[in-house]
């Protein structure tokens, strides 16, 4: 059986200083979801697993829901199953749809298990206190599937998950789940919530990561999806990268410097490139803030963010160390 795993598609997300820029980002989020549909068909996938936060807000606009569910309907029409565990952005509940009655789709509204033949799939929606209850709930849903390997699909924090330029790491003291406490029948956990693709505990937990960058702290992270191949003997997980919207971060330490406006003008491109200009080390004067606004007019730089936006704010560097490549999920193990 072959799965394609994604998470954190954040459909409906938009950003920018103009309506054109916001539409550009909005369309890109849907565009990458459409690409996943084509990839799943080409790769002869049995099921697409979505680890939650399919939408960017708990009450998405009607046009966002309609367009998203139309894409899922198209996926199902290709005889590719679609299974999703709602995330925190959905507040653990997805907008209702008749697609939930399709024989190859499942929208988890509570702890449940699906028998897929080769394996069982356990899924549940996001919960901020699940770490205290997960053992009991898993024992309840797995009691009839003692001899079958199981996968989990969810949208949770697990012990050791990392995000951000400083590689902040979640642990059990912060409410993260300890995977080592879960039953031995669980062979793989696929989770959304953390936007960085990564594997934990020697491949016991995998995060596909988000399919597109929504924040500048993700600039150094590859975005993509996971192909998961499972048979009676082994499990293979392969990360595949997707193209992302161009993004650039420029930091200037002004601790002992004056702003060089000509230098900034040469470094920053206009158009549809998401760019963050961070000025650190000291606060800006009112004149400097005003000059920056005049230097980079909205229409020419629709996807430029300047930080700080106001005087009397002092920023620290976003990147405190050299940026290294990430070890994305890529492994084979016996089941």
What are the tokens at 246? 């161009």
Question: How far is the C-alpha of 187 from the C-alpha of 85, rounded, in Å?
Answer: 18
Query: Could you state, in order of their start, the residue ranges of all structural domains in the chain?
Result: 2-245, 247-307
Q: Regarding the domain delimited by 2-245, which CATH topology (the fold level of the hierarchy) does it fall under?
A: Purple Acid Phosphatase; chain A, domain 2 (3.60.21)
Question: How far is the C-alpha of 267 from the C-alpha of 273, rounded, in Å?
Answer: 12
Residue at token pair 């950003």: 15
- pLDDT computed for residue 322 by the predictor: 54
- pLDDT computed for residue 324 by the predictor: 57
Question: How far is the C-alpha of 42 from the C-alpha of 36, rounded, in Å?
Answer: 10
* Range list of β-strands (E), the chain: 2-6, 47-50, 81-84, 105-107, 112-115, 120-123, 150-155, 162-163, 168-169, 186-192, 198-200, 205-207, 223-230, 234-242, 247-253, 274-280, 304-307, 330-334
Q: What does the DSSP 8-state code read for residue 101?
A: G
At 41-74, the pLDDT tens digits run: 999 999 999 999 999 999 999 999 999 999 999 9
**Under-50 pLDDT residues of the chain:** none
What are the tokens at 30? 């849907």
- pLDDT computed for residue 48 by the predictor: 98
- pLDDT computed for residue 327 by the predictor: 80
Q: Are the C-beta atoms of residues 200 and 247 closer than 8 Å to each other?
A: no
- pLDDT computed for residue 219 by the predictor: 87
| Total-model pTM | 0.94
Give the list of residues 6+ apart from residue 88 with CB closer than 8 angstroms, or none: 52, 53, 126, 128, 155, 193
At 2-13, the pLDDT tens digits run: 999 999 999 999
Give Cα 6 to chain centroid, integer Å.
8
**How many CA atoms within 13 Å lie on the side-chain side of 157?**
20
What are the tokens at 125? 């929606």
């Amino acid at each position: 059986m072959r799965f394609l795993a994604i998470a954190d598609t954040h459909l409906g997300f938009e950003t920018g200083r103009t309506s054109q820029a916001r539409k550009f980002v909005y369309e890109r989020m849907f565009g990458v979801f459409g690409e996943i549909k084509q990839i799943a068909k080409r790769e002869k996938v049995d099921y697409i697993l979505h680890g939650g936060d399919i939408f960017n807000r708990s009450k998405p606009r009607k046009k966002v829901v309609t367009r998203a569910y139309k894409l899922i309907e198209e996926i199902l029409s290709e005889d590719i199953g679609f299974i999703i565990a709602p995330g925190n952005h959905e507040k653990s509940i997805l907008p209702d749809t008749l697609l939930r009655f399709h024989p190859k789709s499942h929208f988890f509204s509570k702890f449940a298990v699906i028998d897929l033949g080769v394996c069982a799939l356990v899924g549940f929606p996001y919960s901020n206190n699940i770490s205290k209850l997960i053992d009991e709930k898993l024992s309840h849903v797995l009691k009839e599937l003692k001899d079958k390997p199981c996968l989990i699909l969810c949208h949770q924090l697990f012990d050791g998950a990392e995000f951000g330029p400083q590689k902040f790491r979640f642990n059990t003291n912060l409410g993260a789940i300890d995977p080592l406490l879960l039953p031995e029948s669980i062979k793989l956990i696929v989770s959304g919530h953390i936007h960085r693709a990564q594997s934990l505990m020697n491949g016991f937990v995998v995060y596909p990561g988000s399919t597109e960058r929504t924040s500048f702290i993700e600039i150094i992270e590859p975005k993509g999806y996971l192909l998961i191949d499972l048979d009676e003997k082994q499990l293979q997980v392969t990360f595949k990268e997707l193209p992302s919207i161009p993004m650039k971060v420029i930091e200037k330490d002004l601790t002992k410097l004056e702003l060089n406006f000509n230098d900034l003008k040469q470094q920053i491109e206009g158009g549809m490139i998401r760019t963050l200009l961070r000025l650190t080390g000291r606060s800006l004067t009112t004149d400097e803030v005003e000059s920056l606004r005049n230097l980079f007019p909205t229409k020419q730089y629709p996807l430029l963010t300047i930080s700080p936006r106001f005087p009397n704010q002092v920023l620290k560097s976003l990147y405190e160390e050299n940026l290294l490549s990430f070890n994305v999920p890529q492994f084979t193990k016996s089941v």
